[in-house]
């Protein structure tokens, strides 16, 4: 396994149980819906993963584009959402050829940590090109340099306790500690950014951003940013 895309394409143990996985995607979908500006919006979920609740997001907009780099995950998305005429599945490469200024809302949640800095900057350039002048980019679940893995564990356990899967979460944490995830985390690592660093990168990509009061999902120690095309830039 060479990178995080391979990891997410494998049979990983990142979700402790079916209930955890289902609840995870329900919470993300709920939070994405909260950012949809109108029912006729075109929405792009950048590196959406399994996106199990994407139908909920699609209900709240006109078109939902699910972009995912992992080929196995993408195959499942195509099969799962084939009957849903509002949902289109794309690779990240295909985004480069989409029409510029065609998207109202781009969401990239829990992805920046898996990219190296150059990949992240390239993704921002692609997203900036796709955004309508009135569009919005929501960058969620960004890891901070001053917050370590213990808070990730605590956030998961608190979410699990609230939703009745604490035992599964504890077993899952042990499985994860013994799994490829642990190896990937020490071999490839996770990218962390301070608030100032993210804001500087977004500014460089001609996006003007603020940090949102609340993170997408259930980990309150991670950060979400809401960005718009900077005024006066093409």
- Tell me which residues touch ligand SAM (CB under 6 A): 4-5, 8, 28, 47-49, 68-70, 109-111, 114-115, 119
- How many angstroms separate the CA atoms of 213 and 78, rounded? 34
Minimum CB separation of residue 116 from ligand SAM in Å reads 7
Closest CA to 175 of 47, 158, 167: 167
On the 0-12 / 13-18 / 19+ scale of CB atoms within 10 A, 76 is middle
Structure tokens at 64: 């939902």
On the 0-12 / 13-18 / 19+ scale of CB atoms within 10 A, 35 is buried
Minimum CB separation of residue 234 from ligand SAM in Å reads 26
Minimum CB separation of residue 231 from ligand SAM in Å reads 29
Q: Which is nearer to ligand SAM, 51 or 199 (CB)?
A: 51
Cα of 197 vs its chain's centroid, Å: 19
Q: Which is nearer to ligand SAM, 8 or 81 (CB)?
A: 8
Structure tokens at 89: 């599945």
Minimum CB separation of residue 132 from ligand SAM in Å reads 22
Which residue number has the CB closest to ligand SAM? 49
Q: Which is nearer to ligand SAM, 47 or 224 (CB)?
A: 47
Q: Which is nearer to ligand SAM, 40 or 121 (CB)?
A: 121
3-state secondary structure of 181: helix
């Amino acid at each position: 396994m060479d990178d995080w895309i391979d990891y997410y394409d494998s049979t990983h143990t990142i979700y402790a149980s079916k209930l955890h996985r289902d609840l995870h995607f329900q919470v993300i979908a709920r939070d994405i819906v909260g950012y949809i500006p109108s029912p006729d919006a075109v929405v792009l979920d950048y590196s959406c993963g399994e996106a199990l609740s994407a139908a909920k997001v699609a209900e709240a907009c006109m078109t939902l584009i699910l972009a995912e780099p992992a080929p196995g995950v993408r195959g499942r998305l195509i099969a799962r959402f084939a009957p849903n005429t509002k949902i289109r599945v794309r690779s990240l490469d295909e985004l480069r050829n989409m029409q510029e200024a065609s998207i109202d809302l781009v969401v990239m949640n829990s992805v920046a940590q898996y990219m190296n800095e150059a990949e992240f900057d390239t993704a921002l350039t692609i997203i900036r090109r796709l955004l309508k002048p009135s569009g919005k980019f929501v960058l969620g679940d960004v890891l901070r340099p001053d917050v370590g893995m213990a808070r990730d564990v605590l956030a998961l356990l608190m979410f699990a306790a609230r939703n009745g899967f604490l035992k599964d979460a504890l077993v899952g944490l042990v499985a994860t500690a013994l799994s490829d995830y642990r190896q990937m985390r020490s071999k490839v690592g996770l990218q962390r950014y301070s608030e100032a660093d993210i804001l500087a990168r977004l500014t460089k990509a001609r996006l003007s951003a603020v940090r949102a009061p609340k993170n997408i999902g259930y980990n309150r120690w991670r950060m979400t940013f809401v960005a718009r095309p900077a005024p006066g830039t093409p």
